Amino acid sequence: MTELRPVTVITGASAGIGVELARVFAREGHALALVARREDRLHALADALAAAGKARPLVIAADLAAPDAVRKIADALRAQGAEPQYMVNNAGFGLVGLADMRPREDELAMIDLNVRALTDLSLAFADSLARHKGGVLNVGSVAGFLPAPGMAVYYATKAYVISFSEALHAELKPRGVRVTVLCPGPVPTEFAEVAGLKKNSAPSLLTVSPERVAEEGYRGLMRGRRIVVPGLANKLITKIVPLVPRSLLLRAAGSRQARRRAAQGT
């Protein structure tokens, strides 16, 4: 059997945190496969990395919300003689608004991407991750530590990502596979615009750059950390939130989201 060469697959590599993760993995000498829907952006990033002397990444244009996305990625990798050593599940989006007032298909598409595709991709390549002593880096969020009326489905998807990834960390450890969940607070990317916010209202104390988020995620994965929360203030939030009564949290998170909607005039 011909040996397949190991690559790091990064989803959502056409923007924001995913671009920076691609830069960090490439800098550290990993061969890459970049996945997202906007193929032109993936090619532009692949060209830039190649021009900087790195191996040219494979480009796989795929809508991860589609049911056959994982098969498509597996086929594309095999056709190029590659298989995953690291699986970076970064693609994701959020939507602001009361869940029952929003189009149902948009809320369910969020679950398809943030939960279903992430789960499928975390599990589908376990054998090749083990063969290459690699791992999984799943992008969660500080949002996963609490419920938030006004962004209910997004916060719930991220709670799933944290719970699933922490358990998978324990399950795959005996096979030599690292699993890390990266939980950023606010990061200036296209996320806010996609979520329906005209301006980013995140407090600057909590905001961390996408470059730093990617660096910390990479380092945490390589060190076998279970969870990484970039930024001291965000770390503090994740320690304090479990101690606060749920009713208080719901009130505080709900009024923050309501203020955000009011500021947008929505």
Q: Which residues bind ligand NAP (CB under 6 A)?
A: 11-12, 14-18, 36-38, 63-65, 90-94, 113, 139, 141, 184, 186-187, 189-191, 194
CB 191, min distance to ligand NAP, A: 3
CB 141, min distance to ligand NAP, A: 4
Question: Amino acid identity, residue 152?
Answer: A
- Which one, 16 or 97, has the nearer CB to ligand NAP? 16
E strand spans, 142-210: 178-182
CB 109, min distance to ligand NAP, A: 7
- Which one, 131 or 156, has the nearer CB to ligand NAP? 156
Which helix (H) or strand (E) segment holds residue 45: the answer is helix 39-51
Paired sense of beta strands 135-139 and 178-182, if any: parallel
Tell me the C-alpha distance between 56 and 31, whole Å: 8
- Which one, 63 or 166, has the nearer CB to ligand NAP? 63
Paired sense of beta strands 135-139 and 82-89, if any: parallel
Q: Does residue 160 carry a catalytic annotation? A: no
CB 49, min distance to ligand NAP, A: 16
Tell me the C-alpha distance between 219 and 214, whole Å: 9
Q: CB within 8 A of 216, min separation 6: which ones?
A: 182, 228, 230
Q: In what order do the strands lie in the sheet with 227-228?
A: 58-61, 32-36, 5-11, 82-89, 135-139, 178-182, 227-228
SS3 133: coil
Which helix (H) or strand (E) segment holds residue 65: the answer is none
CB 261, min distance to ligand NAP, A: 17
Residue 170 buriedness (CB in 10 A; 0-12 / 13-18 / 19+): exposed
> Which residues participate in catalysis according to the annotation?
154
